[in-house]
Amino acid sequence: MSEWKARRFWTTVTLRPEDDGFAILLDDRQLMTPSKHRLVLPTEPLALAVADEWRAQQDLIDPRTMPLTRAANSAVEKVAPQADGVASMLAEYGGTDLLSYRATEPQVLIDRQAEGWDPLLDWAATDLGAPLRVTHGVIPVPQDPAALARLRAHIDRLDLYALTALHDLVTIPGSLILGLAVVHGRIDAAEAHRLSRIDEDFQAERWGADDEAIEAAEGRRLSIARAEQLFHLSRRG
C-alpha cells in the first residue's frame, strides 16, 4: 500500500496581521500547527518566509522543503510547553562544551583547535562573563558553577523562537559557546559549522572522507544555517 500524502488544496497564500504577530492564510483558512494550535509568527519577515514555503508547494506537500514551517511548528508545539526544560538541557552543554576538550596529539591538530577555539573562549569569558576551563584528552574537566550559571542566564533571556533556533545551533555542533556566539553575532552559522568540524576535517585530510560522512556533514551544515535564518527572521526591531 502506498503512503498517503497531503495534497495542495489552496490557491493563494496571504498574511493577516494579528495582535501578537502575523497569521498565514491558505485561501481563507488560517494555517495551524499539526496539532491544531494557532500559528502566529512574531515578525513579518518570518511570516513572509514561511508563506513562501507554502506558495512553493506543488501538487503534493513536501515537509522536507519547508524548514521554517517545521521550525515554527516545533517552537509552538515542542519548545513552548517545556521552555525551561529546553533551556536546562542546552545549559548542560556548557559543562561539556566541545571547545573545552582538546587533542593530545598531533601538534598540528592541537594548534588548529587553539587557533579556532581560543578566541571564542576568550569572548565567552569577557563578553558573557563565563570563563571555561580547557583540558587535553577526554577526562571530564569540572567547570566553575558561577560561569555555567552566567551562561544559563544568557539562555534565559531568549524568547521562544530564539530558544528554538539555539537548540540546533548548540546540539548539532555540540557547543553552547558556538551557539551563543551565533545568536550574539560573534560568528555566523557557516563559521560555527567549520569550527565544530576541526577534528573531523583533520581526520578527513589524513585518511579521506567517504560519501556518507560528506552527506551527513552537509545535512548538519544546512540545519545550522536554517537555525541561524530562523533566529534572524524572528527578531523584532
Q: Please name the amino acid found at residue 149.
A: A
| pLDDT value for 202 | 96
Is the pLDDT confidence value at 90 over 80?
yes
**What is the pLDDT, as a whole number, of residue 93?**
98
What are the φ/ψ torsions at residue 153 (nearest 5 degrees)?
-60, -35
Nearest to 124, CA basis, from 177, 170, 169: 177
Q: What's the mean pLDDT in 193-203?
A: 97
What band does 209 get if pLDDT is binned at 50, 70 and 90?
Answer: confident
- pLDDT value at position 117? 98
What are the pLDDT digits (tens) for 224-234?
A: 999 999 999 99
> pLDDT category, 48, cuts 50, 70, 90?
very high
Got the DSSP string for 49-112? HHHHHHHT--SB--GGG-HHHHHHHHIIIIIGGGHHHHHHHHHHGGGG-GGGEE-SS-HHHHHH
Report all structural domains of the chain as residue ranges with CATH numbers, in order of start: 81-233 (1.10.3580.10)
pTM: 0.94
